[in-house]
Amino acid sequence: MILTEGLSIPEGYDQCPYRSYVWSILSRTQTFSTEHYLQLLSESENSLSKELRMKIKNDTFRTLMNDQRFHQKVSEDSLIRILSCVAMTNDVGYVQGLNVLLAPIAYSCHRSEPQAFAILHSVITYHIPLYITPNLEGVHTGLSLVDVVLKSIDPVLSEALDSKFLKTEIYAFPSVLTLSACTPPLQAVLKLWDFLFAYGFHMNILFIVAQLIIHRTVILESEQPMKILRNFPSLEANEIIKLSLSFIPELPKPLFELIARHGYDKSVPKRLKAFLADGE
């Protein structure tokens, strides 16, 4: 159901009221008690450095700044508390982009901070741990994969971007880092994330390529395509999902396996180089 239709919104609701529970189940998130959460929050007040606290606050201040619906449900203080607990429970502490990764989760779990914390912790610990290393190695691998997939699916668009020196590191970094949560509208992000939780977070690589192809005519005809790429046009969730699924049969199986594993498997960059060398 989730893969084909997404989560429905019952009459009288502004979002699916059970989305947080579905995401918890799909990500195999363990129940996290309020008591345990409050204990962790208390410990963070004494353990986190002033510099780290400031880093978190500087990011939460900017989180989905222009989305009034988001801020009606999720306060900045709530984001700070959740991210402080996240910083207490991983080796890195806090890295760029965690605030935007938290945003869709916090919105879906706006009635329960402990649940929002538990889901985010599960995602970054078990599904995309390489996205939150000090050098964001999983993100950089993801950027390389976006480049490879685009060349395979749409070589004309890929060559056009290359000719203008528009590399994925320049235009796709935020979208890879945040699993496309940096691009509005939030309701479309939630629908894409329903799919990511159900199918796998690696599908975001194909989502980004799909966004490029949806807007390929505008990009190819523009004298300054970076203006378009700097701020991707609004997400079209249904079209993105449909296009992304159509890519899978077109990609070599070894490449798709690397896409599927890049968020948690440190061997992927080396294997990707070998794959590309074999194809030359």
% of the chain exceeding 90 in pLDDT:
87
Neighbouring C-beta atoms of residue 244, cutoff 10 Å: 23
Which CATH number among 1.10.472.80, 1.10.10.10, 3.40.225.10, 3.20.20.450 corresponds to the domain 137-278? 1.10.472.80
What pLDDT does 12 receive?
A: 80
Would you say 210 and 149 are in contact if contact means Cβ atoms under 8 Å apart?
no
Torsion angle of the four alpha carbons 6, 180, 72, 37, in this order, in degrees rounded to the nearest 10? 90
pLDDT digits (tens, 9 = 90+) for 153-210: 999 999 999 999 999 999 999 999 999 999 999 999 999 999 999 999 999 999 999 9
* Residue 143, pLDDT score: 99
Quick one: 249 exposed, middle or buried, by C-beta within 10 A (0-12, 13-18, 19+)? exposed
Q: What CA–CA distance (Å, rounded) separates 14 from 154?
A: 37
**DSSP label at residue 178:** T
Whether a cis peptide bond, with omega within 30° of 0, leads into 174 is no
Q: Report d(CA 192, CA 198) in Å as an integer.
A: 10
Answer for the pair 56, 97: CB distance below 8 angstroms, yes or no. no
> What is the number of other CB atoms lying within 10 angstroms of the CB of residue 185?
13
Q: Is the pLDDT of residue 235 over 80?
A: yes
Q: Residue ranges of the domains in the chain?
A: 16-127, 137-278
User: What fold, for 16-127?
Assistant: Helicase, Ruva Protein; domain 3 (1.10.8)
Please give the residue that has the higher pLDDT: either 280 or 175: 175
Reported as a single tens digit per residue, the pLDDT across 178-187 is: 999 999 999 9
The C-alpha atoms of residue 220 and residue 218 are separated, in whole angstroms, by 6
pLDDT digits (tens, 9 = 90+) for 43-75: 999 999 999 999 999 999 999 998 999 999 999
pLDDT band at 9 (very low <50, low <70, confident <90, very high): confident
Nearest to 235 by CA among 196, 276, 191: 191
What 3-state class would DSSP assign to 102?
A: helix
Query: Percent of the chain, pLDDT > 70?
Result: 98
Judge whether residue 2 has pLDDT over 70: no
Contact 39, 47 (CB under 8 A): no
pTM of the predicted model as reported, rounded to 2 decimal places: 0.95
Phi, psi of 74 (to 5 degrees): -125, 120
For the chain, give the mean pLDDT: 94
